Structure 1
Amino acid sequence: MRKTGYEGRTQISLVSLEELVPGEHLVRQIENAIDFNFIYDLVRDTYSEDTGRPSIDPVVLIKIALIQCIFGIRSIRQTIKEIETNIAYRWFLGYDFSQPIPHFSTLGKNYVRRFRDTGLFESIFARVLEEAVKHGFVHPDVLFIDATHVKANANRNKYVKELVQEQSKKFQDLLDDEINQDRIAHGKKPLEKKSEVSMKEVKTSATDPESGLFVKGEKERVFAYSFHTACDRSGFVLGVKVTPGNVHDSQMFEDLLGEVARNLSTPRAVAADAGYKTPYICRTLLKEGIRPVMPYTRPHTKDGFFRKYEYVYDEYYDCYICPANAVLSYETTNRDGYKMYRSDPSICQNCPLRDRCTESKDAVKRISRHIWAEYVEEAEHLRHTEGSKQLYQKRKETIERVFADLKEKHGMRWTTLRGLKKVTMQAMLVFTAMNLKKMATWLWKSGRRINRTHALFQYVLQIHKNSHCF
């Protein structure tokens, strides 16, 4: 039986970090994937050239933040402790055995004072994505869009109730114009715009007022932020928008789609869940020549009653025909953009199917139809095609996988910062880390070596070994 002594603890060896970091370590793959020197140009305006004390290398500050995000370390304080004892992390930063690692507060103060409102993290995200596009890894022809809720750093029981103004829909002016056009076409007077401002009561967090109360069913009520995200079929994140948790997913769809189209290209198809299956989104996609890939939505009719699809719409006569072959004629178009169709009570009074049609005491059946309903119907027709079925099945492999990795592997089940700007910064760093990790791994597996620093170190190391320096 052999016993190992403890002499190795005090043994002095002449060795370099380059020798000790495994050849397949992730930090080597990342260093090979991208040259971080582009960061100097992004932060040049925030540093003085000839005054003040010597600063910490900004690339080191960004790399420390990336280490935290890539390896899912819970806090920046813990990240500094890990770097102090981890040889691979020191190698990644360019620090030797004896150099002191920056204090954790240094990073926080730089992010708050120096990098705040500079768009630095969005620029880094864009640069990493640009490199992935350059290598042919990104395929923006099909977008997978969804949103996930990340719990805010706030106590859900500490809040105040406030009256806030209801935000009008971005497309409200367009909708109002088409409503009035439809009313005029039916011989109705156009509606005047509302002069009164609608108010609603909301619960605002006393800890993080910029977060929003997220309600899911009867059990889950937390203050949270929404990460609205778009990715491609390979799982590369192409666009991100961060909002309070009480902002509906569909409200940020157009902004997210526009960002991806500006930075990359207009996709040929967009896959999204049922929360995005609204008349305006379907209209926007089809008008732009983009194929909407959306799921089946279950009707909300009571059991035992006819479903809405059992009432046939006649486009030529602009009316509905009920299962008893009676006509529901146009009645009006309301402010929400719905055209109302009304049955004849004298016919419905003695109809044998009345019990399955309506519970109205005056024997009247009404059906609503949005003025953009034809776009939703077209999206529903495309749902049955084989191409749409295959694309929708890929959601679980793409956008759902992105959110799973975001929370499980990269520590974003809840935010560690407070305020929309800081949380946005944190989100951009994590998504940058995810894209960078994927790109670095794929480049390494393909055998492509982009950064020459590693090869130079190996060359120098070999010279020293050949000359018996070690």
Structure 2
Amino acid sequence: MLKDHSQLKLSLSPYQEIYDAVIPANHLLRKIKENIDFSFVNPMLRKQYCENFGRPAKEPEMMFKLLFLKKLFDLSDETLISSAQTDMAYKFFLDLEPEAKMIDPSLLTKFRKNRITEDILEELLKETIRQALDKGLIKSGTIIVDSTHTNASVRAKSPTQILRDMSKQLRKEIYKNAFDLSEKFPEKPSLEAGLEEEIAYTKNLLKALEEGIAACGSGKIQELAREMKELLEDEKIRDIRSKDDKDARFGHKTPTSTFYGYKNHLAMTEERLIAGISVTHGGAPDGQELPGLIEKVQETGIEVTEVIGDMAYVSDDNLEACGEGITLIARTNTAVAAAANGKLEEGFCYNKDAGMLQCPAGELAMRVEKRTAKNGNTYLRYVFSKVKCRKCPLRESCRVGRGKSKERSYSITQASEKNLERLKFEESEYFRERMKIRHRIEEKNGELKEAHGLRRADSRGLFAMELQMYITAFVANVKRITRLTEPVMQ
């Protein structure tokens, strides 16, 4: 049950003046409290509580402020509550009396799991942008987009190892609590067995024990069997790398290094305020998230006129999503750029009369194969005579002659007119100047990871990662609004 906290409360504590004595005017939490209005929290979360039944709940605003402090200072639940009991700045920020007792840390877990939903996370982020707009802090329609990865809270395993560990755990529990069922165990596969063999064994194990598990009365054994059955029925079983976190996936940081976890796709204003977020598994491509990010930023009330990002965001779909009203400032894929700047190797040339490619020895290609790619480029493959290439005295120094394939060919990529226009725009002075501010989102990513714990997931599952990302972004935005407001108030 949620009490009505709409009326102002009068503090009767004899120690209230201690806050003025021990918390300086320039303390971060005092400045945040003076500049950020948290009164929106209670009305936003009211629908998550029963109006008339149950024990009186702790005020949502106070609970949310505790989550805010947790991310602001990157603390565990236990450390946060312990610090809040004795730190007067924390209690001042929480609107508590100096002698007030703090809640049990377990209430924070219940609040996160039972009161916060995906739509509330979006509203929380929008609220920071609304307050920034009301203060006149957002002056441009430019957003900078990028993604940053977060490592999962669990260790990755192969699907074979996951099944093997689960079946081993089930057998162990049966030996302890239902020994008679152990006589029905099928023969285990060898340690060198692959995924298909492990799947077949697990299915046979569950089938042989089905009736016995239902009648054994052990809740732990039944729960393990249920989890194994669900995993076997999952169509993505070959992609799963943890039985505890089925949403995390492998992704690439560089061509040679990988991570296991999630990607946080961010859209940040030129003033360094995060206005749009999309959280995906680690293997998701960056570019596909751009239309959704633009839409989320527009829903906050910002009129997007320009998007700045890296080459992952340049595609026909994204250019179409931007339309004529939004300028996309991002480098074109290197393959497209190479096609536009491509030159024939020394000795090769076009014979305009024959309309065919000519090799250094003066021989013409026999035919040309042509295809058009999705990016608009045209790919030409000129095929030369294999017999002539073998006899040619220049074959050792010729790209075509040295070839070991069945056909001797020379491939050329021709950039489309649309791509050529795009590349010309990327050479402009305006484009180069605007790209200079892209580093700001890299700095923001570093802040989120180093100062607020985004380097590693707090919990398991996609929604848990969304919760962590949105609360972290809320904290970063509040800090930024407070910083931007300071000069205005002087």
TM-score normalised to structure 2 length: 0.69
State the secondary structure of the residue aligned to 2:287.
Answer: helix
- Out of 18, 21, 45, the residue aligned to residue 19 of structure 1 is 21
Alignment of 1:200-219 (within 5 A): 201-217=238-254
- Out of 375, 391, 407, the residue aligned to residue 362 of structure 1 is 407
**Equivalence for 1:291:** 327
Partners in 2 of 1:405 and 1:340 — Cα distance? 44
**Equivalence for 1:431:** 473
Partner letter of residue 438 of structure 1? Answer: R
**Equivalence for 2:80:** 79
Shift of 1:220: 3.7
Shift of 1:434: 0.5
- The structure-2 alpha-carbon separation of the partners of 1:441 and 1:323, relative to structure 1 and needing over 3 Å to count, comes to farther
1:367-411 deviations in Å (ceiling 9; x for gaps): 4568xx544433322221111111112111x11011010011111
Q: Which has the higher contact order (CA 8 A, sep 6+)?
A: 1
Shift of 1:296: 6.5
- Is the contact made by 2:336 and 2:377 (CA closer than 8 Å) also made in structure 1? no
- Is the contact made by 1:147 and 1:228 (CA closer than 8 Å) also made in structure 2? yes
1:166-198 deviations in Å (ceiling 9; x for gaps): xxxxxxxxxxxxxxxxxxxxxxxxxxxxxxxx9
- Is the contact made by 2:129 and 2:300 (CA closer than 8 Å) also made in structure 1? no
- The structure-2 alpha-carbon separation of the partners of 1:357 and 1:380, relative to structure 1 and needing over 3 Å to count, comes to farther
**Equivalence for 1:386:** 429
1:306-339 deviations in Å (ceiling 9; x for gaps): 9962269x9xxxx997898989856345789875
**Equivalence for 2:438:** 395
2:141 corresponds to 1:141: yes
Q: What runs of 5+ residues in structure 1 fail to find an aligned partner?
A: 1-11, 164-197, 449-470
**Equivalence for 1:187:** none
- Is the contact made by 2:357 and 2:382 (CA closer than 8 Å) also made in structure 1? no
- The structure-2 alpha-carbon separation of the partners of 1:104 and 1:307, relative to structure 1 and needing over 3 Å to count, comes to same
TM-score normalised to structure 1 length: 0.72
Partner letter of residue 284 of structure 2? Answer: V
**Equivalence for 2:370:** 331
Partner letter of residue 409 of structure 2? Answer: V
**Equivalence for 1:48:** 50
**Equivalence for 2:187:** none
- Is the contact made by 1:150 and 1:225 (CA closer than 8 Å) also made in structure 2? yes
**Equivalence for 1:267:** 304
Larger radius of gyration: 2
Shift of 1:14: 8.6
Task: Give the stretch that moved more between structures: 119-128 or 87-96.
Answer: 119-128
Partner letter of residue 150 of structure 1? Answer: T
- The structure-2 alpha-carbon separation of the partners of 1:200 and 1:445, relative to structure 1 and needing over 3 Å to count, comes to same
Partner letter of residue 387 of structure 1? Answer: Y
1:97-144 deviations in Å (ceiling 9; x for gaps): 221111111011122123345x22221111111111222222442221
Shift of 1:158: 6.0
**Equivalence for 2:123:** 123
2:308 corresponds to 1:310: no
Partners in 2 of 1:251 and 1:260 — Cα distance? 16
Task: Give the stretch that moved more between structures: 50-59 or 150-159.
Answer: 150-159
CA RMSD of superposed structures (Å): 3.8
- Is the contact made by 2:266 and 2:293 (CA closer than 8 Å) also made in structure 1? yes
Matched residues, number = 389
State the secondary structure of the residue aligned to 1:364.
Answer: strand
Q: What runs of 5+ residues in structure 2 fail to find an aligned partner?
A: 1-13, 163-194, 197-234
**Equivalence for 1:98:** 99
Partners in 1 of 2:153 and 2:72 — Cα distance? 21
1:203-228 deviations in Å (ceiling 9; x for gaps): 43223111111234576443211000
Partners in 2 of 1:102 and 1:257 — Cα distance? 40
- Is the contact made by 1:311 and 1:320 (CA closer than 8 Å) also made in structure 2? no
Percent same amino acid at aligned positions?
A: 21
Alignment of 1:30-45 (within 5 A): 30-45=32-47
